[in-house]
Amino acid sequence: MVLRKKERDVEIPSASLADIAFLLLIFFLVATTIDVDKGLDLVLPPIGSEIEIAKKNITNLLINDAGEILLDNEVVPVEEVDDIIRDKLAENDKLIVSVKTARKTKYDIYIRVLDQLKKAGATRISIAEPEEA
């Protein structure tokens, strides 16, 4: 009399689980870009933090709009900047390099100078504002 349903094994088939996981894996493998951007790190000074620095601890590096570099009142080629700064850092490890550019200076030369400073191991780099023409 008692109507009893036959108990059936109800199960989700798990045989294709690995295949589904593989498909998802392949999707994420393709979508992932492993190559990260590379570049030169710099931390800007916070606004209103102008502090007085002793003159002897500052080296001025000026780049004009023709891409010429004036380092301590001497014109130097880009490739020599790192050697000069390295010597200066050996004498005075508190040295701050103040980079000043003109508004028409090309960005390329600025990055090359920054690269030279990084090569020389200078960590204290200050970016000065160009004077308004």
Partner 1 sequence: MAIKIEKKSKLKIGIPTASMPDIIFQLLIFFMVSTVLREYTGLKVELPEAVKVQKLATKRHVSTIWVDRFNNIVIDDVSVKKITDLRTIVYNKLVEDKQLIISLRIDKEADMGIVTDIHQELRKANALRINYSAIPAVR
Cβ atoms of 67 and 112 closer than 8 Å = no
Least distance to partner 1 from the beta carbon of 75, Å? 18
Q: Which of residues 102, 124, 125, 126 is near partner 1 by CB under 8 A? A: 102
How far CA 103 is from CA of 48, 52, 62, in Å, comes to 22, 25, 12
Least distance to partner 1 from the beta carbon of 22, Å? 6
For position 66 contacting partner 1 by CB under 8 A, the verdict is: no
What are the backbone angles phi and psi of residue 17, rounded to the nearest 5°? -55, -45
Q: List the Cα angle 26/29/33 in 5-degree steps.
A: 155
Least distance to partner 1 from the beta carbon of 36, Å? 5
For position 40 contacting partner 1 by CB under 8 A, the verdict is: yes
For position 39 contacting partner 1 by CB under 8 A, the verdict is: yes
For residue 39 the two structure tokens come to: 């570049």
For position 96 contacting partner 1 by CB under 8 A, the verdict is: no
